[in-house]
Amino acid sequence: MPALSPTQARLVDPVLTGIAQGYKQLDFVGGLLFPTVQVGQRAGKIITFGKEDFMLYASERAPGENTKRIGFGFSGSPFALIDYSLEGSLPIETNQESNSPDKGYTIDMARVTLMKTQDIMALRLEYQQAQLARNLANYGSSNKVTLTGTSQWSDYTGTSNPIKDIEAAKEAIRARTGKRPNVLVMGPATMSILRQHPVIVDRMKYTTRDVATADVLAALFGVARVVVGEGIFANDAGVFSDIWGKDVVLAYTELSTLAAMGTPTYGYTYQLRGYPLAETPYYDNNAKSWYFPVSRCEAPVIAGADAGYLIKNAVA
């Protein structure tokens, strides 16, 4: 077995851990709805606040009268982080081929192996976030709608009106939180339909753009960001599906630090401090391969369902 260098002898490799923590899939968008919050323990309470900021308190006082006191605090459902680990394998034969001088160049297969392992881990998180956001049971009756028939945006000849539906969703969130949504997430199938929708095309006559990009839709819908979740996954039979399906999710998500408590944030991804991490690569004589362990400890949660709105089956 090859001798371990001082770097390999460490329990956790700080360089590879830095790669694992910094790597992000460009097509993954769940982090916009569920921004990461570092926590120091694997269980705790979801940060949720009441509606103190919107209450009209009787603050008048007569001379000598005690000043009224108000309290602030949060209560919430418990969360529990889940540990995930995978090991990327690098056979020595593959590594030898990648470093062959006959090519005139070399490939850092250790980095490639780590990246691919992290990619798989990130796909799992994106899928979990999408499943949470697309579940009708996670929303109150005023914060969801299921489109059918001629109301679906794919029916150009019916009564469908994407802008009207988005405005209704924005108002539902504002009415329950005092905030308008700042993020809209959709799948690629929905984006393709919206680019050709007559209502969108008609509104674009008043712009200088001739293609309905995400930025154009953000301006038309009146939200800060419109993003398309391009991620796909394959089932056990190898059939590919869009992670974000044909649904649309609007949400107000507080993207600032955790110090800004009290805002009606839609969701978080609680992550144990120091994760994701890459442990020391190790060599297996029997398999004649190097292994690169990657671990994550996290759980996405909906902290304030009132700050979100789900349009189910936006397109057929």
Chain segment 138-162, per-residue pLDDT in tens: 999 999 999 999 999 999 998 999 9
69: confidence class by pLDDT, cuts 50, 70, 90:
confident
Residue 304 has pLDDT above 60, yes or no: yes
240: confidence class by pLDDT, cuts 50, 70, 90:
very high
Query: If you average pLDDT over every residue of the chain, what do you get?
Result: 85
Interacting residues of 13 by C-beta distance below 8 A, sequence separation 6+: 7, 278, 279, 280, 281
Interacting residues of 259 by C-beta distance below 8 A, sequence separation 6+: none
**pTM recorded for the entire structure:** 0.83
Among 16-20, 168-172, 279-283, the range scoring the smallest mean pLDDT is: 16-20
38: left (phi over 0), alpha (psi -120 to 50) or beta: beta
The domains of the chain are located at 14-54+76-312
Distance CA 191, CA 196 (A): 9
- Secondary-structure class of domain 14-54+76-312 per CATH: alpha beta
Residue 172 has pLDDT above 90, yes or no: yes
- HEC readout, 201-266: HHHHHHCCCCCCCHHHHHHHHCCCEEEECCCEEECCCCCEEECCCCCEEEECCCCCCCCCCCCCCC
